[in-house]
Amino acid sequence: MQGPVIKPALAVYTGLFILFLYGPFFVLGILSFQTGPEGGPQFPIVEWSTYWYRHILGLTPPSRIAPLPIGEALVRSLVLAFMTMVVSTLLGVLSAQAFRSRFKGSGVVFYLIVLGMMVPGVLVGLGMALVANTLGIDRTWWGTAFVLHVVYTFPFAFLVMLAIFNRFDASVEEAAWSLGVSPARTFRHVTFPLIWPGVLSAMLFAFTLSYDEFSRTLFASGRELTLPLAIYGTFSVEIHPNVFAFGVLTTLFSFALLAVYAILMGLSVRRARRLAIQEDIT
Amino acid sequence: MSTTLAPAALNEPQVQDPGRRRGWAPYLLIAPGAIWMLLFLVLPILMMVYVSFWTQTTFAIKPILTTKSWVTFFSSETYLSSLWTTVRIWLLVLGCTVIVGYPTALFVGLFVRNKTLSTVLLVLCVIPFWTSFLIRVLAWRPMLGEQGAINIILMGLGIIREPISALLFTELSVVIGMTQIYCVFMVGPIAFMLSRIDPNIIEAARDLGASFPRIFRKIILPLSMPGVVVGAIFVSVMVLGEFATSAALSGRKTNMLGNIIVTQVGSLKWAFAAVAGVVLTVVMGMVVALLLRVVDLRREL
């Protein structure tokens, strides 16, 4: 744009920036193929092997390196992320629907909701632990940690839905209502299909954020670990390449999740297009 | 909304008073979310402030009000130095994310006029977020260690003879790690603000003979400031509340307020943890208020 030098320089810089973002992860991926069980989490690669991947799946003979405690933790994390996803998406849709009309105190409520994603996990986690202690409630991942996960993800769902409703043409709802369709049926057949892409995005946000959340969980869940807590536990002891292999596997899982989202999104777009074509014909 | 609900109410005999329903509907819809936030966000924070004034005994806290924990905090070398460490790391990381992120944002937001390319670049920036945060932190260990990738590359290029051991388990490694993890939160808002600059303005300035540094100083930088402030708020809040990165990359040598809270909770010193939490909240509030004073976001966005 300006002069022959600046743009290429910035392009090179951006390339280096991307390298900075991905570099550590490439190294991690390479080292996950270190030989086991004697190979350490550093260069050089003694011998390429898939030992640590088998180690995670429990397919290797027992060695001095304890397997990662991930079996039950994975199930807990998935259940927790699913619960969080359902509740925070529901709350997000309801709240965003409320914000379609102006009501008294909407400014305060807006900040109250957005605060949930801004306040660091250490603080809410600590506060929740104190509340639970005082009231004599046991801290559990499905109780105290779950409500904090929703506090964290609900604002994201809310903001996504708010953006969707902002572009939403209310006249289609009015048309249905004026034709005598009940509000419930209108929601089911008119509103919901229109906001579905937004709901899907809100669900994706809530699920991935909750699945990866650990600072809130650290304080608010009891003795039973979720997946991020199991990884956090390895920080204090000597790390082995099995953590790296696990990192590669979780990343692949996340991409699978992303692919499911992309497919669902593609389907809903295609369906909308098909409906539009049908309307054109009739 | 008021006009949209009226016809529906007319068609529904079970709703007697359409006016009342119209007035109450938003409150009913917002109530679950608002109550959830009050109970599980505001109440815990208030509880933290309250407990910071409780009496701490060896293994328990008693609801007898005292300022003893506060006095202990502000007369203890460890706690005060962790407060200073928190502020220092915050400033360093904030500076680094701006320096590292701004040129990238400039390229993505202003120089790339090809929609596909800028989308691809932004997606590339976001993809790492689908890896667990903790794994991303951990990935810096084999990068920075004495036998790590950076040392091997530097030695291979003949730049250094001996591996640099100061790269890992120091404050430097914490700053590097946090900069990488949080810089995308800086790039996003800045790139967004830059992409909204009307190219005609820059074109006009150039036609009038302004050099690029001048255009940057007079047009690009001021117009991108709201993005910098939004990014700075994101980064600040996240860095100030950090404890995992500093624990993993400093070998527990760098203790931020977050680390203090974790250790205090671990040894059941709830009142001290609460004091550290309140101090952290106050610091965070001051930082956000300060940043909001730099630019009036409501006017700019």
* Among candidates A22, A116, A212 on the partner chain, residue whose Cβ is nearest the Cβ of B133: A212
Q: Max alpha carbon distance in chain B (Å)?
A: 86
Measured over the CA atoms of residue B72, residue B75, residue B79 and residue B80, the dihedral's sign is positive
- Averaged pLDDT score across all residues of chain A: 86
Size of interface A-B (CB pairs under 8 A): 271
- The pTM assigned to this predicted structure is 0.85
Are the C-beta atoms of B63 and A141 separated by less than 8 Å?
Answer: no
- For the cut 50, the answer to whether the pLDDT of residue B122 exceeds it is yes
**Mean pLDDT across the stretch B216-229?**
92
ipTM of the complex model = 0.85
Are B138 and A243 in contact (CB < 8 Å)? yes
**Min distance A153 CA to chain B CA atoms (Å):** 11
Measured at the CA of A114, the angle between CA B282 and CA B99, to 5 degrees, comes to 70
CB neighbour class for A273 (10 Å; exposed up to 12, middle 13-18, buried from 19):
exposed
Q: pLDDT tens for residues A76-99?
A: 999 999 999 999 999 999 999 898
Q: How far apart are CA B110 and CA A6, in angstroms?
A: 12
pLDDT of residue A77: 92
**Mean pLDDT across the stretch A65-84?**
87
- For the cut 90, the answer to whether the pLDDT of residue B37 exceeds it is yes
Contacts of B28 in chain A (CB under 8 A): 98
Are the C-beta atoms of A18 and B180 separated by less than 8 Å?
Answer: no
pLDDT of residue A23: 87
Q: Report domain extents, chain A.
A: 3-56, 71-239
Q: How confident is the model at residue B16 (pLDDT cuts 50, 70, 90)?
A: very low
Q: How far apart are CA A204 and CA A86, in angstroms?
A: 11
Name the residue type at position B239. V
User: What CATH topology corresponds to A71-239?
Assistant: MetI-like fold (1.10.3720)
pLDDT of residue B14: 43
Q: How far apart are CA B187 and CA B231, in angstroms?
A: 7
Half-sphere exposure of A260 (CA within 13 A, CB side): 11
Are A235 and B244 in contact (CB < 8 Å)? yes
Q: pLDDT tens for residues B233-282?
A: 999 999 999 999 998 888 778 899 999 999 999 888 899 999 999 999 99
Contacts of B277 in chain A (CB under 8 A): 122-123, 126-127
Are the C-beta atoms of B84 and B71 separated by less than 8 Å?
Answer: no
Q: How far apart are CA B97 and CA B102, in angstroms?
A: 8
Cis peptide bond prior to A44, omega within 30° of 0: yes
Question: Highest mean pLDDT: which of A33-47, B154-168, B218-232?
Answer: B218-232
Q: pLDDT tens for residues B167-193?
A: 888 899 999 999 999 999 999 999 999
Task: Choose from A5, A13, A14 for mutation: most chain B CBs within 10 A.
Answer: A14
Q: How confident is the model at residue B20 (pLDDT cuts 50, 70, 90)?
A: very low
Q: How far apart are CA B173 and CA B140, in angstroms?
A: 8
* Among candidates B11, B145, B261 on the partner chain, residue whose Cβ is nearest the Cβ of A122: B261
- For the cut 70, the answer to whether the pLDDT of residue B18 exceeds it is no
- For the cut 70, the answer to whether the pLDDT of residue B13 exceeds it is no
CATH number of the domain at B70-300, please? 1.10.3720.10
Are A123 and B277 in contact (CB < 8 Å)? yes
Q: pLDDT tens for residues A153-198?
A: 999 999 999 988 888 878 888 888 888 888 888 888 888 888 888 8
Are the C-beta atoms of B212 and A6 separated by less than 8 Å?
Answer: yes
Q: How confident is the model at residue B94 (pLDDT cuts 50, 70, 90)?
A: very high
**Mean pLDDT across the stretch A40-61?**
80
Query: How far out from the chain centre does Cα A136 lie?
Result: 31
B287 and chain A in contact, CB less than 8 A: no
**Min distance B56 CA to chain A CA atoms (Å):** 13
Helix/strand/coil for A136: coil
Q: pLDDT tens for residues A233-257?
A: 877 777 788 888 888 888 888 888 8
- For the cut 60, the answer to whether the pLDDT of residue B213 exceeds it is yes
Q: How far apart are CA A68 and CA A225, in angstroms?
A: 12
* Among candidates B149, B237, B242 on the partner chain, residue whose Cβ is nearest the Cβ of A27: B149
- Judged by average pLDDT, the poorest of A7-21, B108-122, B179-193 is B108-122
**Min distance A190 CA to chain B CA atoms (Å):** 14
Helix/strand/coil for B62: strand
B238 and chain A in contact, CB less than 8 A: yes
Half-sphere exposure of A143 (CA within 13 A, CB side): 12
pLDDT of residue A203: 92
Contacts of residue B90, defined as CB under 8 A and 6 or more positions apart, other chains included, come to: B236, B239, B240, B287
**Mean pLDDT across the stretch B79-83?**
93
Between B62 and B173, residue with greater pLDDT: B173
Chain A residue at shortest CA distance from B47: A127
- For the cut 60, the answer to whether the pLDDT of residue B5 exceeds it is no
Q: How far apart are CA A91 and CA A97, in angstroms?
A: 10
Q: How confident is the model at residue B11 (pLDDT cuts 50, 70, 90)?
A: very low
Between A62 and B235, residue with greater pLDDT: B235
**Which residue intervals of B76-217 are DSSP H helices?**
77-106, 115-126, 133-138, 140-144, 149-156, 171-195, 199-207, 212-215
